[in-house]
Structure 1
Amino acid sequence: SFPPQALNLSPVMAQLVAELQQPRLRGLIAAKFGLELDDAPTMLTLRGRTRAKDGRIHRDSACKRVTVLLYLNPADNGAWSRHEGCLRLLRNAHDLEDFAAEIPPLAGTLVIFPNGPDTWHGHRQYVGPRYTIQLNYMANDASARNELRRHRLSALTKRLPWVA
C-alpha cells in the first residue's frame, strides 16, 4: 500500500484521489451508515499487487471507522472467475468459505463498510496485479498519522535496492 504522495500519479488518477476525499462522499457515507464523520480524518492508499500472504481473514484495526474500496482491475483476469482475490464479507473469523457476499475486484466496483467487531473479511489467495484505492475514515488524528507513517515507511523500503 502506498500513500498517493509516494507515487507519480497521472492527472486523471490524481483527480480521482482528490474527489474521493471530498465532503460529498463523506456526507453520503455518514448518512448511509448513520455515522458522524465530519471530524474523522481520512487515510487514502493505493495498492497495485497482492502477495501470497494477503487476503487472510481479518477485520480492520479499531482506528479505522469506515473502509472504502474502489477496485480498478480489468474484467479479463481469469482469477476473478476462479474466485481468487475476490473480497469476501464473512460471517465469522474462521471460515473463508462462509461468506455473506463475494465481490470481484472489477474496475469501478465500490465497496463501503463500517468497521466493527464482526466485520470479518478476506479473499482466496491471489498473487499478482490487483489495483485498489482504499480510503479509510479514521477514529482520530493520532491513529491516522500513525497508519500513514507506517505506509510511508513501507513505501520507502519497497523502493530501496536490497543487496543480497
Structure 2
Amino acid sequence: MFKSLFKRAESTINLVAPLTGKVVPLNEVPDQVFSEKMMGDGVAIVPSDNAVYSPIDGVVASVFQTKHAIALRSNEGAEILIHMGLDTVNLKGEGFEIKVSDGEKVSKGKLLAYFDIKKVTDCGYEVITPIILLNDDQFEINHQSISNEVNGGTDNLLEINKK
C-alpha cells in the first residue's frame, strides 16, 4: 500500500510557467489544432514579457527550424511543446532569439528564448502561447493554474503524473 503512494509521488512532475503572463484554458486558444487538443492537453499563456524559460528539468528535444516552437523532454519522459504564438511559423524565425540547441540539458527556469511579442503582434499574429503535453498517452495533467497571472521560470503552472 505505501509503495504505491510513494511511487505515485515520485512520478509527479511540476512544470513552472515558461512565460510571464495570464494563463488561459486551451479551449480559449483561437486555433482549432490547440483548442480541440489535437496535439495534446495543456494550457496557454498570453505573455506580458519576452523571456521564455524551461518549465522542466530535462533536455531540449527539438528547436523548430523556424524558431517559433521548442519541444522538451523531462527527465521522467514527459514531452512538452512550447508554441510561441499562433501561425508564427510564417515569420520564418524573425522575432525569435533561441538560446538553446537540440540535445542540450535544461533545468527549470533556464532561459530558452526571447520572443518579441511586439514584433509578432505588429505582424498581425496572436502571441497566445500554448504549452502542450505531447505524450498524453503516457502522462496526464493532474492540476492546472487557470486564469492566474504567472511569473515565467518560477511559478507553478501544471502538475503532470505518469499514467
Give the TM-score normalised by structure 2: 0.38
Q: Which has the higher strand share?
A: 2
Q: Which has the higher helix share?
A: 1
Larger Rg: 1
Give the TM-score normalised by structure 1: 0.38
